[in-house]
């Protein structure tokens, strides 16, 4: 039951962070129709989950439910990513769609690796 509470609290905090960061970024840097806010959240979420996953492999405790399942699960936005891709496709913005998908996948994967390498070097 304690782990479910951690997931609940972490998920709420992650969702609030996602909302604030995504909206603020989009307002600050409105780059045509490229969804920069969601892009930033996805990349930083990948970095964070890489770091935390690497940490909790060595230090298994209940905080992984709060931070990985809860916080990162509420913070990352691949469902929003999919909806935005569909919208770009519907609006025939194929160049932006391709750029968004490729950058998200390549930089997200790289950020997970970087997060793990940073954590293991500590």
70, burial (CB in 10 Å: exposed 0-12, middle 13-18, buried 19+): buried
* Cα(99)–Cα(15) distance, integer angstroms: 25
Beta-strand ranges (E) seen in the chain are: none
What residue has token string 């992650």?
14
For residue 108, say whether it is annotated as part of any ligand binding site.
no
For residue 76, say whether it is annotated as part of any ligand binding site.
yes
**Of 64, 41, 45, whose CA–CA distance to 54 is shortest?**
64
Q: What are phi and psi of 76, to 5 degrees?
A: -70, 155
Residues annotated in the binding site, as ranges? 73, 76
Residue stretches of the annotated binding site for Na(+): 73, 76
């Amino acid at each position: 039951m304690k782990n479910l509470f951690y997931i609940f609290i972490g998920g709420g905090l992650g969702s609030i962070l996602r909302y604030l960061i995504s909206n603020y970024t989009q307002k600050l840097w409105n780059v045509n129709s490229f969804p920069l806010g969601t892009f930033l959240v996805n990349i930083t979420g990948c970095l964070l989950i890489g770091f935390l996953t690497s940490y909790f492999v060595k230090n298994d405790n209940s905080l992984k439910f709060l931070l990985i399942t809860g916080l990162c699960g509420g913070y990352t936005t691949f469902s929003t990513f999919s909806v935005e891709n569909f919208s770009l496709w519907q609006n025939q913005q194929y160049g932006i769609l391709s750029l968004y998908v490729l950058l998200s996948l390549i930089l997200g994967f790289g950020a997970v690796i970087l997060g793990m390498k940073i954590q293991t070097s500590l």
